[in-house]
Every structure is written in structure tokens, then in C-alpha cells.
Amino acid sequence: MKKQEMQKKLSPGLMDFIEFEQGAKRTRDTRSVAAYAEKTLKHTNAGATLQAALWLKEHLKRGGKMVVTMAGALSSFQIGITLAEMIRKNKVHLISATGANHEESYYRFVAHSHYAYIPRYTELTPKQEAELRDAGLRRITDTFLPEDESVRIMEPHLVKMWQKAQKDHKRYFPHEYFRRLFSEKLIKPDPAANPDDCWAYAAYKKNVPIVIPGFEDSTMGNIFSSYTYGGQHKSKSDLTLDQSIMKTGLEYFHFLYDWYMESSKKSPIAFLQLGGGIAADFPICVVPSLKHDLRLHGKVRDWAGFIEIGSSPMSYGSYSGAGGKEKITWDKLSPKSYYQIIQSDVNLVFPWIAAVLLDL
């Protein structure tokens, strides 16, 4: 059916949803990944991926900024190969990551050659899982995180920082302690690792702000908790630290208030959500909180766009699977905000988006 015929049969509102096939064009080298994406990513999730990538590209080209949020174990799955390059090319302006994702970027940096894989992980028996546990191999889907060569290598350096902060009556954010591992050259990259594949290292070098909501929900957060515990199960010989040396999630949110208001003065800000959970829900709420809790109605710029890549279905009130339209009811998004939900694996989709943004 031709466009003119369709316009006669459908309402204008419905026509707004419809796009028409364009003639095949070769405007640049079709050997590039980005050109191949434009030629082949046409329909369903692939089409949504390309549309989101092209919107983000235009957004950044116009001077917009972008917040990237990371859930799951994306750092263990080497998302840094892609994300670090985007950081170096000034495509990313703030990162919100789970404590696990943040620390695992460091673990990859120091212990890359000690990681191992088990593609047929679904076939493991409980007995075999226990065997892996006893060997110090912490499984994350198909990937083994080597605890002794990563967590236990970094822990003594961080403990010394925590002790000094307590002695000096200083307080820092979790990521600020971690960044000193780079700035004070306390850790070295694994001989088999490429430092450029570490997104935390790229963010440190570019001084990109990092927000870590729920830091205690991570391995190093658990370790810090154990040092600050003073209850009946604490051994008298164990080190006890004051928990106040670690700045909290509330203070991260206060930082977001100021960062968003300042950064959005001249630039619209887009939201790229990789997976669901607190890493995304925490920073996206800064806009409605500024409006309704700080009563800055009319002074707060809406999120320019929201793009989510995730595999969680929309069900039972799950935030991870909530659609963009639901966020409008919470004033997290405006009806004018661009939004795109891509129901797929981040490890598959994100590299395509990055390729388009980086003109690879």
C-alpha cells in the first residue's frame, strides 16, 4: 500500500508511528561496521538498536551529554573494551554502576589472565559448583572471577586507605578510594591485559564522574561492612573502622542534584541504560526529585531521551522491565523525551550502538 493510500485509511496519530522504506543508498564506505549496521539493522530489535544509535549520535552531535548506567556483571563480561573507547572519545559524561560492575572493572585490570570460561555452564552439577567454590573460582554465568588474584590483591591497599581516612577524619566516595589505586600506582595491569580495555581506568584519566548506588551490595562493599561491624560476632582482634569514612548513597544523590542542574544548563542529557536495577533507577530519579522534592518546578530540564537495553520482561512491577511510558507517570521522562526499549542481550546490542557512535 502506498503512503497516500495509507493516509486515507489511517488516523494521523497512527500514521505518526509508521515509517516507510527508503531507497538503498551508499553514502560511504560500506566496509565500515557503522555502515553495515545502517544497511542491515532494519527490523524488530535490530531496527530499534539502529534507531537508538542514530538518535544518540545526533544528540551528541548537537552538543548533548550522555549518562550510561550498568547493571549485571557487564564489567566481568568485558564491556570495558567498548565503553572505555566511548569515554576516550568524549561520548560519555557520567557513569552509574553497581558496586560489582565498578570493582570488576578493576579486577579485570589486575587479573585478566586468571579469568576462565565455561560455555556449557548450565550443565554443571551442584557438586561441581561446590568444587569451583572451594578452588576460589566465583562463577558469573559463563565466567570465573579469580578471587585470590583480584579481590585479595586489592583489599590490603584499600584497607590502608580506609585506615588513613579514619586517622585524618576524612570521608570519600567509594570510587574515590578506588581511583587512588590508579593515581598512586598501587596496582599494575595484568601482563595479558590491555589497560585500554578498563573503563574505570579510562574514566579516571578523563575524570568522568562515577556514581555507585548501593556500594555495600558488592564484594568490596561486603568487606568494608565487615570492617565497620562492631556487633557481638566481631572478634576483638579484628580491625574496626568507622563507617562514616565512606560517603553514602544519599551523598551520591546530592552530587547528582548539582551535577544535573549544572550540566543541563547548556546541554540536554540522554540516558543509556544497560540492564536494569539500582544502577539505572537511582540516577534517573534525579529529575523528578529535583522537581517535586526540591520544588524546582519549571527550572529542571527533562531527560532528553531514554534508551534501555535489557532482557527483563515487563511484569509484576519489575522496574527493570518497565517501559518508557510508565516512567512518564513518575515524571522521570517527559512525553517529549525520546525513548526506546531494546529487549535483548547488552553484550550483543551495545557494541552495535557504540560502532555507530564511534563511526567505526
CATH of the domain at 279: 3.40.910.10
179 vs 182: CA distance, rounded Å: 5
Q: Cell triple for residue 91?
A: 561520548
Backbone CA torsion sign across 39, 43, 49, 53: positive
317 pLDDT band, cuts 50/70/90, is low
What mean pLDDT is reported for the chain?
A: 91
Does pLDDT of 65 surpass 90? yes
The range of the structural domain enclosing residue 68 comes to 51-112+147-311+318-357
pLDDT tens string 236-256? 778 999 999 999 999 999 999
Does pLDDT of 131 surpass 70? yes
Query: Considering the domain boundaries, does residue 294 fall inside one?
Result: yes
Does pLDDT of 30 surpass 90? no
Query: Considering the domain boundaries, does residue 325 fall inside one?
Result: yes
Query: Considering the domain boundaries, does residue 265 fall inside one?
Result: yes
Angle at 108 between CA 103 and CA 112, to 5 degrees: 155
Query: Considering the domain boundaries, does residue 140 fall inside one?
Result: no
Backbone CA torsion sign across 330, 334, 335, 339: negative
What is the predicted pLDDT for the residue at 29? 57
pTM: 0.90
pLDDT tens string 178-221? 999 999 999 999 998 999 999 999 999 999 999 999 999 999 99
pLDDT tens string 301-314? 999 999 999 877 66
What is the predicted pLDDT for the residue at 21? 56
Does pLDDT of 80 surpass 70? yes
What is the predicted pLDDT for the residue at 355? 95
Domain count across the chain: 1
139 vs 358: CA distance, rounded Å: 32
49 pLDDT band, cuts 50/70/90, is very high
Does pLDDT of 322 surpass 80? no
Cβ atoms of 115 and 139 closer than 8 Å: no
First and final C-alpha spacing in the chain: 36
Query: Considering the domain boundaries, does residue 195 fall inside one?
Result: yes
Does pLDDT of 320 surpass 70? no
Query: Considering the domain boundaries, does residue 44 fall inside one?
Result: no
Average pLDDT over residues 288-297: 97
Query: Considering the domain boundaries, does residue 68 fall inside one?
Result: yes
